[in-house]
Structure 1
Amino acid sequence: MNLFRLAGDMTHLLSVVVLLLKIHTIKSCAGISLKTQELYALVFAARYLDLFVHFISLYNTVMKLVFLASSFSIVWYMRRHKIVRRTYDREHDTFRHYFLVLPCLALALLINEKFTFREVMWAFSIYLEAVAILPQLVLLQRTRNIDNLTGQYVFFLGAYRVLYILNWIYRYFTEPHFVHWISWIAGIVQTLLYADFFYYYIMSWKNNVKLELPA
């Protein structure tokens, strides 16, 4: 494992910690898209089907369990916790996220590394992760008023993907025959979706003003 991969994993983990900190400490999910959280839960469920049949390392197994448990617990809190669910912004979180699932599944059936159930589900999870942030970005654009923890959560989530791209570049030049077009293209698409948010986040930090996205 190289430094970029480790930094990406830790940044991804940090985004989850920030979100859980908001939910558990403040008892609020204001500004958080349930639609995006449900998509991420589906992403991890589809990607980690090999959890108990293909052991890579203790680190790999632990990280898989953490992301599975955290994603489903976040969805549970937003849907079932009496206090947290009252803060959920149903009025603005109206992106029809299920319209993203079927096209991603169809794409996975057509473009995959091997036509087996696990490989198709892996490709599906990669395609779905690339667009899973869309409901969250749309929600932030509609509400415009973004609190610090929500802004940090989305920033760290985007930073994780940028670091993974650097990891791929590093591995391409240091490992023979390292080519993963599905992950690469999906990762670039996902990073581009964050570009607008990154710009306004950095400008708000630079000017020490509250983060707001244009309508």
Structure 2
Amino acid sequence: MGRRRGSSYVSVLFGWVRDQSVKVKIFLGVLIAIFALVGLKLTIRDHNYFFVLSEAVHLAGILVLFYKLVTQKTCSGLSLKTQELTALFLGVRLICSTVMENDIHTVLDLISLLSTLLVIYRIRFKLKSTYIKDLDNLKLSFVVVPSAILAIVVHPFIAHFRLIRILWAFCVYLEAISVLPQLRFMQNAKMIETFTGHYVFALGVSRFLALAHWLIQMYESGGKYFFLVGSGYFWFLAAFLSEMVQSFILADFCYYYVKSLVQGQLLRKMPV
């Protein structure tokens, strides 16, 4: 009884939010994000854990996709191009991580890359007949080429070979927009497959955790973190904006995903 009453209260709350203006919705979203950031800051002392959690959540999302492919024997609702972009930036990041860090991030990147390659293999060969290529129609060059050009122009200035610095910048920029083919796929299909929805939501949570690192570091350093990363102002600004871009791309989806779960439903259509 208490559980039903709590659910009805939440439904009323979401109904009230739905009826508000766009400005009010944006304000409420920012307010919730601030409370979440404060909570993370108070509970997690080592900010490096934000990136570890971000990568772990991303890996969990990839494993959800692999589970779907193995158990349901179909890749319906999945964008192969997003998985290929994911494999590309993970491979590049693994190279950079091996050279620059060689720590837990390297291990997580390796597992994520191998898992993504398995997903790609099953879509391309094992489940090719269930892949709807016509709906996966965002050209990869529209994503890869701008990321590469920006990486050549704006990259960190740290104690590593220039190629490594450019590759690092490239994987940051590419990761920020790698989800676009998947979102385009779902828009074309006018539906969201359940496991795909879980995967995209995991990406949203992953990006929020990474963005939290940047925001909390900026707050605690009084803005000086712009110059403490050994990279120069323009690189930090570009990397920070990349995190912001992906977070905003996924924010709307995550809102409707959580709303549908609270209402005891599954998100079936892309939010307009």
Q: Report the TM-score when normalising by structure 2.
A: 0.71
**Partner Cα separation in structure 1 for residue 148 and residue 53 of structure 2:** 30
Are 1:128 and 2:174 counterparts? yes
| 1:47 and 2:103 aligned | no
Post-superposition offset of 1:173: 4.4
Q: Contact 2:257–2:266 (CA<8 Å) still a contact in 1?
A: no
Q: What is the CA–CA distance in structure 2 between the aligned matches of 1:20 and 1:45, rounded to whole Å? A: 18
Call closer, same or farther: CA 1:52–1:9 in 2, change over 3 Å. Answer: closer
Q: What amino acid maps onto 1:150 in structure 2?
A: T
What's the CA shift for 1:28? 1.7
Asked if residue 196 in structure 1 is aligned to residue 252 in structure 2, the reply is yes
1:139 aligned residue: 185
Per mean C-alpha deviation after superposition, the further-off stretch among 171-180 and 108-117 is: 171-180
Q: Is the 8 A contact 1:15 1:154 kept in 2?
A: yes
Superposition RMSD in Å: 2.1
Task: Tell me if structure 2 keeps the 8 A contact 1:144–1:214.
Answer: no
Contact 2:77 2:192 (8 Å CA) reproduced: yes
Q: What TM-score results when the alignment is normalised by the length of structure 1?
A: 0.88
Whole-angstrom CA distance in 2 between matches of 1:106 and 1:61: 25
Q: Give the partner amino acid of 1:90.
A: K
CA distance in 2, matches of 1:75, 1:172: 37
Q: Residues of 1 paired with 2:166 and 2:255: CA distance?
A: 35
Mapped partners of 1:213, 1:124: distance in 2: 29
Task: Decide whether aligned partners of structure 1 residues 53 and 209 sit closer, same or farther in structure 2, where only a CA change above 3 A counts.
Answer: closer
Query: Is the alpha carbon distance of 1:28 and 1:206 closer, same or farther for their aligned partners in structure 2, counting shifts above 3 Å?
Result: same
- Answer yes or no: is 1:111 the counterpart of 2:154: yes
Task: Report the Cα offset of residue 153 of structure 1.
Answer: 0.6
Report if aligned partners of 2:204, 2:247 keep a CA contact under 8 Å in 1.
yes
Offset of residue 143 of structure 1? 1.2
**1:213 aligned to 2:259?**
no
1:94 equivalenced with 2:137 (yes/no): yes
What residue in structure 2 maps to residue 70 of structure 1? 115
In structure 1, what is the equivalent of residue 237 of structure 2?
A: 181
CA deviations on 1:77-129 (whole Å, 9 max, x unpaired) are 21122xx2221111211111222111111111111113811110111111111
How far does residue 214 in structure 1 lie from its aligned partner after superposition? 4.6
Check whether the contact 1:165–1:187 (CA below 8 A) recurs between aligned residues. Answer: yes
What SS does the aligned partner of 1:145 have?
A: coil
On the 8 A contact 1:144/1:213 being kept in 2, the answer is: yes
CA distance in 1, matches of 2:62, 2:108: 12
Residue 10 of structure 1: how far off its partner (Å): 2.5
RCO comparison, higher one (Cα < 8 Å, 6+): 1
Following superposition, the deviation at residue 182 of structure 1 comes to 3.2
Name the stretch that deviates more: 188-197 or 5-14: 5-14
More helix by share: 2
The structural deviation recorded for 1:168 is: 2.2
Q: CA deviation at 1:75?
A: 1.5
2:249 partner letter: L
Which sections of structure 1, spanning at least 5 residues, go unmatched? none
- Is the 1:44–1:68 Cα contact (8 Å) retained in structure 2? yes
- For these two proteins, the number of residue pairs brought into alignment is 212
Q: Distance in 2 between matches of 1:12 and 1:210?
A: 21
Change (3 A) 1:173 1:56: farther
Counterpart position of 1:8: 54
